[in-house]
Amino acid sequence: MSFVQDLRGRRALVTGGGRGLGRAIAERLAASGAEISVLDLPGALVDVPTGWSAVPLDLCGQDAEAGLAGLAGDLDRLDILVANAGAVPPWRGVDALDREEWERVMTLNVWAVAESLGAFAGALERSGRGSAILMASINGYKAHPKQVLYTASKHAVIGIARAAALDLGARGVRVNALAPGPIATAALMDRVRKRHETGGPAPGEALAALAEETALGRMATAEDVAHAAHFLASDASGGMTGAILPVEAGLA
């Protein structure tokens, strides 16, 4: 009997898998034996490990739908889909929203998640044990000031996960979501530094303050998120669908 978290022989596709949380998740799934494909912008795929399949595609581009459909058509099956690609916009109050920015972020954070799931639904069904993992956030159920756009987009992802779980459950496909708290990725550190330049706290102080708010006394890490994704991808979570799994060290 194989271990329930052994992913040998399974195919996984991670959107936004070239860097950040997506890269950490792809590396974790690969360590458990999964065959990895990562879909990302061309510039994010320059150092994809040997043995992985790199798929250059802009999920906000005009050719995104055709690109996803073509990729799905080439697969006889897909066992794991991680719809991770997303963006965190700059801090803005509700009285300073930018429509172009709103549409761009909603396209990537919401439409591309649903579009990816829809495109690969058939391949996941053919797996017989398909698992889709959507990237939400604690902002999907907890708001923060000056993050109206991001909060709205992640609330939407949670809605997609719950509704799609009902749509695809009869086809043997599980759909769950991860809800990370702040993770010290390069993207977060860049935002913290930019905030410091406009009068915010120094990066070290900002991270320490976040850590102090958690039950564990530390921020969650990219590895924590990757381990949770591995769990949702594997048979260890075989009875779970429509669930939102927080990974925030007790921040919520």
The domain locations on the chain are 11-180+221-240, 184-219
Please give the CATH topology (third level) of the domain spanning 11-180+221-240: Rossmann fold (3.40.50)
- In the chain, what percentage of residues exceed pLDDT 90? 88
Whether the per-residue pLDDT at 3 is higher than 80: the answer is no
**Catalytic (active-site) positions:** 150
| CA dihedral of 56, 79, 47, 24, whole degrees rounded to 10 | 120
Report the pLDDT value the prediction gives residue 163, as an integer from 0 to 100: 98
C-alpha 153 chain-centroid distance? 13
181-229 tens-digit pLDDT: 999 888 788 888 888 888 889 999 989 999 999 999 999 999 999 999 9
Count other C-beta atoms under 10 Å from residue 199's C-beta.
Answer: 6
